[in-house]
Amino acid sequence: MEIRPMVSAHVPALAELEKQCFSTPWSAAALAEELENPHAVFLVACDAHTVYGYIGMHHLGDEGFITNVAVSPDARRQGIGKSLLAAAAAYGQTHALYRLTLEVRVSNAAAIALYETCGWVRDGTRPGFYRAPTEDAAIYSLYF
């Protein structure tokens, strides 16, 4: 497995992964639009035949805003999420970002544990941020 920039050939697999991981998934069209977004940085964990996960980020000024982190349910607990977060952190350091930030459902204990293990800190809460079901988001940041 390696982590590489998203290309158009990844879009169908990422759209399927979105459906497996999120109650309000991004469509293939929305993912494809990110290929044209000059602020988008999307990295895919894959081998020659399989997409295992991805991380999407928007780089604006001196900050990076993580839009999604998704790992296939069949590939979880194998270090893929940690590798994707490390790749985003490496990007942040290389591009002299001040911080990366993301939102996570407050009930997503597994993701929160991963973020905290990787050095992310909780900065606050966004009440009612998520839909289907409605839930607060915890805001996490990784400072450089």
Q: Which tokens in the block code for residue 89? A: 């952190």
Report the C-alpha gap between 21 and 40 in whole angstroms.
21
Single out the residue of 20, 22, 31, 25 nearest to residue 56, CA to CA.
31
Whether 103 is a known active-site residue: answer: yes
User: What is residue 25's DSSP assignment?
Assistant: P
Whether 2 is a known active-site residue: answer: no
Considering the candidates 103, 116, 135, 143, report the single residue annotated as catalytic: 103
Considering the candidates 18, 34, 52, 115, report the single residue annotated as catalytic: 115
What residues contact 85, with CB distance under 8 A and at least 6 apart? 55, 69, 114, 115, 118, 120, 142
Helix ranges (H only) for the chain are: 11-21, 28-34, 80-94, 109-117
C-alpha distances (whole Å) from 35 to each of 7, 16, 44, 79 are 7, 17, 13, 26
Which residues belong to the active site?
A: 103, 115
